[in-house]
Amino acid sequence: MKWPNLLSSLRLTEVESRPYESARPPWQIDYDRLVFSSAFRRLQDKTQVHPLSSSDYVRTRLTHTLEVSSVARTLGTIAGDYILKTYGKEQYGTKTLEETLTPSDIGMITSAAALAHDIGNPPFGHSGEDAIRYWFSSSKYARRVRKWLSEEERRDFEKWEGNAAGFRILTRLQFYRNEGGMKLTTACLGAFMKYPTSASGLVSKAQAKEDIAGKKPGFFEADRNQWNAVADDLGLIRLNDNRWCRHPLAYLTEAADDICYRIIDLEDGFRLGRIPYSDILEIMQKLLAPNEMGSLNDHPSNSEKVAYLRAKAISKAIKEVAEVFERREPDMLAGKPMGDMMSQITSADALDAFKDRTTRDVYSMPTVIQIETAGFEILSGLLDAVVDAVFPIRSVGTSTNRGLFGSKVRNLIPDEFLIPEDEVESRAYEQLLLAVDFVAGMTDTFALDLYRKIRGVTIPR
């Protein structure tokens, strides 16, 4: 793979790149399009760790995403400095890379990609992904549709992933619907794509430790052509019909996310009273040497001390990830299998301790588990109702039977998520994807409110 290709400013569905403007680089436009999208705004009411939290402090997907984007910008800029010093003489359009781009350009690519990294997450966080997969394997309404799906199409729902839903939102559902979506640059889409793999190309759990790019699906069968166009423009190495090598900057997008949730979730645990300050200090000392603690005692309150330590920890993790990127960059360009960057940094064991503690005392809080469990019921109930409404049961001859309840629910579904009724059977995969798009795109609050209303728990006034 070649950096001039990997840093392409071509936009999806366009035939040639627009002229580069240093005052408003193409990746800045990517960032702005993401910020002004409704899918991005909905992250303000989507779970990070604590569903439907009443605390003003606890992070939502939106605040988490902004923090990840900030870390990714720093990582990308550091990597950009290395890339331009190493490959700056290579041709990039009519000039060279170093004549056209700055390190900040590459930082903008990773920052925009990170801004989109959770845009496909359903309500109730990762539990929501589990709920959609469970629904498809267990619901009688899902079974009604399965007979019309191919094996590859069924896998999209059996292995349903927020990452694949995110690619679908970016390239199909937002702005220019079915005509390139947000029309982001292929460089941004490549840096976003952590898993350039279809549901039919996944590697085993053991293999994923050494080849992280094949761990989860990154695109659905319906969106394969969009991904093919991105991969071809970037010159990504194709491993087989269902898998590609990662864009090198995708490792930085992933690392930024890992840094934030491992370190920042620990801070959330302290703020929620789940992890005492003495334990935070002990855990941080596994990562930070005494000379790296800096002016800790200059901060009067424990809350300020924890925030200070969090900043120090993030800074150290960024430095170590940047070192790994520079060391492994030739392997990435060659398409060699790699694990995630966080497992390769010097402080990997210390940050694993962060993760273990938050898993035990933050992610496993009774309120978190209770609401995630309720999320299974809410999402399954909504999917049953929506699928019942858009896939009527065939009865005698060519007539169908939806029932009064299904007819009323159908009126609640926006037109963009419906295909003509006489085409439902022949386009069952497309209609099922749209039905899941509708439910997965909801915020936590909207999903709960709609579920209550259609179940008669609450009545609109």
Query: Around 373, how many Cα atoms within 13 Å sit in the side-chain half-sphere?
Result: 7
Residue 271 pLDDT > 70: yes
The answer to whether the beta carbons of residues 45 and 204 sit under 8 Å apart is: no
C-alpha triplet 119, 30, 128: angle, nearest 5°:
5
18 or 440, which is more confident: 440
The answer to whether the beta carbons of residues 435 and 385 sit under 8 Å apart is: no
Q: What tokens were used for 176? A: 């220019």
pLDDT band at 138 (very low <50, low <70, confident <90, very high): very high
Q: For a pLDDT cut of 90, what percent of the chain falls above it? A: 68
* Sign, Cα dihedral of 393, 396, 399, 405: negative
Cα separations in angstroms, 194 against 113, 217, 285, 401: 10, 9, 31, 43
Residue 252 pLDDT > 90: yes
The overall average pLDDT reported for the chain is 90
Tens of pLDDT along 165-201?
999 999 999 999 889 999 999 999 999 999 999 999 9
The mean pLDDT value for 268-293 works out to 88
Q: What are phi and psi of 441, to 5 degrees?
A: -80, -5
Cα separations in angstroms, 121 against 55, 134, 396: 21, 16, 40
pTM of the model: 0.92
376 or 40, which is more confident: 40
Q: Of 99-108, 288-297, 384-393, give the range with the top mean pLDDT.
A: 99-108
- Residue 365: the pLDDT is 67
Rounded Cα distance, 388 and 140, in Å: 10
Tens of pLDDT along 362-384?
766 666 777 778 888 999 999 99
pLDDT band at 265 (very low <50, low <70, confident <90, very high): confident
* Sign, Cα dihedral of 164, 169, 170, 176: positive
The mean pLDDT value for 405-431 works out to 89
Cα separations in angstroms, 224 against 132, 153, 219, 249, 371: 21, 12, 7, 21, 34
- Residue 395: the pLDDT is 41
Residue 258 pLDDT > 90: yes
Cα separations in angstroms, 426 against 158, 257, 275, 429: 21, 40, 54, 8
Q: For a pLDDT cut of 70, what percent of the chain falls above it? A: 92
- Residue 397: the pLDDT is 42
The mean pLDDT value for 254-262 works out to 94
Tens of pLDDT along 112-127?
999 999 999 999 878 8
Cα separations in angstroms, 124 against 329, 370, 432, 444: 36, 11, 21, 6
The answer to whether the beta carbons of residues 164 and 409 sit under 8 Å apart is: no
What contacts 46, CB < 8 A, 6 or more positions away? 60, 61, 62, 118, 121, 123, 125, 443, 444
- Residue 15: the pLDDT is 84
